[in-house]
Structure 1
Amino acid sequence: MKIAVDLHIHSGLSPCSEDDMTPNNIVGMAKLKGLDAIAITDHNSVKNLKAFTKVAEENGLILIPGVEVTTKEEVHLVGLFEDLEGALLFQEVLDQHLPKIPNNKKVFGSQCLYNEMDEIIGEYEHLLINAISLNIEDTVREIRSAKGIVFPAHINRRGFSILTNLGFIPPEFGFNTVEITESCDYSALEHKHSYLNKFIKIRNSDAHNLGNLLEREFFLEVDELSVKGVIKALSKM
């Protein structure tokens, strides 16, 4: 079956997101837009996933546990996990390698932790938009060891893109999928980097506000409507 997905969405835990990116607001907007599955992918943290998972389950929406990691090279990678346990295992890696620099919310914005009723139960103290101390290769290995899949984020952008920062996608990382944003001219990218025609492209919103979530625009072919079904489909791509 084909399902509509948006697998790169930030909650209010990401300091660059708007304050209304709460569990019920995001799940409600995803349902309103007709999405079947979404992923919450906050910067360098999975600490909002428990609340989002509960709200999504109550509303019949598939919620993929995810994260957007900033590697040592300042490249953004999206990691998606089979289950919450794998995501929380990777959180231990992030706790070890994220610089312990306090967040200044007046400058960078709030980093809110929510419960399933959209109540703020705390704020993450360390600034989440910093690069962790692991390079791309080590980050990929850690995500995969937590039963996750990983792909380079928004490769068409100038900022925090693997193409911008490295100039190419090294084959030894084993990527077979790349993420693009809605405005991407993929044919132009392929003209510049001919090897990109070997990659499967996935389009996500990288939404930091409710209005930017995708409509029913990008579809995955899955065997079953479940988290594992989505991960399996992405693994085949």
Structure 2
Amino acid sequence: MKYAVDLHIHSALSPCADKDMTPNNIVNMAILKGLDAIAVTDHNSAANLQAISACAQKKGIVFIPGMELETTEEIHIVCLMPDLESMSSFHDAVRQSMPRLENRPDIFGRQLIMDENDNIVGEEPMMLLTASRLTVDDVVGLARKLNGVAIPAHVDRSSYSIISNLGFIPEELGISYLEISRDCDAARFRSMHPELEHYRLLKSSDAHYLGDILERESMLELDELSPEAVIRELSCR
């Protein structure tokens, strides 16, 4: 059966996201837009995922814990985990690989940590908009080790994508899906990159504002509606 998903959404933890991107607002907007499953993928951190998971569970929408990680090559990778415990282990590994730079809220924006009632319970002091020391190989391997999946993000863009920064996708990564932006013409992208014909394309919003969350336009064929089924599909080769 086909299910509508948006697997790249930012919360107010990401300094570049609108402060209306609270746990309840994200979940409620996803439901209004008719989505079956969502992933919230903040930059290099999982600090808001527990709150969003609680909101999603109350409202009955499937939630996949995620993160948009920036590798040492300055490539963005969407990393999805089957549960919060796996994401906690992933988050700890990422945290250890991050440079200890202090965020400047006046320049980059606040990095808000919220509870399931949308109350601000803290701010992330470490700058999240920076590259980790993990390579693309490291990230793909770590995600797999934790029963998750890593997907190169917005490969159609001219910055922070594996295509723009490496110029190719290493076969040894063993990945199946590539993420394209919400406004990307998939057919045109394929015509420009025939070398990527064997990869499947997944459209995601990369939403930083509530209105940018996808409607029922990105579909996955799944044997059941669950985080594990989403990861199985995205991992298939």
Q: Tell me whether 1:177 sits opposite 2:174 in the alignment.
A: no
Q: Is contact 1:189-1:196 (8 Å) kept?
A: no
Give the letter aligned to residue 6 of structure 2.
D
Question: How do 1:218-229 residues align onto structure 2 when only pairs under 5 Å count?
Answer: 218-229=218-229
Indicate the larger mover: 184-193 or 83-92: 184-193
Q: Equivalents in 2 of 1:129, 1:37: separation in Å?
A: 26
Q: Tell me whether 1:28 sits opposite 2:28 in the alignment.
A: yes
Indicate the larger mover: 136-145 or 43-52: 136-145
Show CA shifts across 1:176-213 (max 9, x none).
11000122133343334322110000000000010000
Q: Counterpart in 1 of 2:46?
A: 46
Give the letter aligned to residue 176 of structure 2.
N
The Cα RMSD (Å) is 1.1
Deviation at 1:66, TM superposition (A): 0.4
- Give the TM-score normalised by the residue count of structure 1: 0.97
Show CA shifts across 1:108-159 (max 9, x none).
0010101000000000111101000111111211121121101100000111
SS of residue paired to 2:80: strand
Q: Equivalents in 1 of 2:231, 2:172: separation in Å?
A: 22
Deviation at 1:40, TM superposition (A): 0.5
Give the letter aligned to residue 19 of structure 2.
D
Give the letter aligned to residue 88 of structure 1.
S
Q: Equivalents in 2 of 1:45, 1:32: separation in Å?
A: 26
Q: Equivalents in 1 of 2:19, 2:216: separation in Å?
A: 24
Q: Is contact 2:66-2:78 (8 Å) kept?
A: yes
Q: Equivalents in 1 of 2:42, 2:21: separation in Å?
A: 11
Give the letter aligned to residue 38 of structure 2.
I
Q: Equivalents in 2 of 1:54, 1:186: separation in Å?
A: 34
Give the letter aligned to residue 141 of structure 1.
G
Show CA shifts across 1:2-55 (max 9, x none).
111000000000010000100000000000000010000000011111000000
Indicate the larger mover: 227-236 or 133-142: 227-236
SS of residue paired to 2:31: helix
Q: Counterpart in 2 of 1:195?
A: 195
Q: Equivalents in 2 of 1:233, 1:147: separation in Å?
A: 12
Question: How do 1:204-219 residues align onto structure 2 when only pairs under 5 Å count?
Answer: 204-219=204-219
Q: Equivalents in 1 of 2:152, 2:59: separation in Å?
A: 30
Q: Equivalents in 2 of 1:214, 1:46: separation in Å?
A: 21
Q: Is contact 1:182-1:205 (8 Å) kept?
A: yes
Q: Tell me whether 1:148 sits opposite 2:160 in the alignment.
A: no
Q: Equivalents in 2 of 1:3, 1:108: separation in Å?
A: 35
Q: Equivalents in 2 of 1:204, 1:77: separation in Å?
A: 13
Q: Counterpart in 2 of 1:163?
A: 163
Give the letter aligned to residue 195 of structure 1.
E
Indicate the larger mover: 118-127 or 138-147: 138-147
- The number of residue pairs the alignment matches comes to 237
- Give the TM-score normalised by the residue count of structure 2: 0.97
Among all aligned residue pairs of Structure 1 and Structure 2, give the percentage whose two residues are the same amino acid. Answer: 48
Instruction: Give unmatched runs, 5+ long, in structure 2.
Output: none
Q: Equivalents in 2 of 1:190, 1:6: separation in Å?
A: 21
Q: Equivalents in 2 of 1:124, 1:74: separation in Å?
A: 21
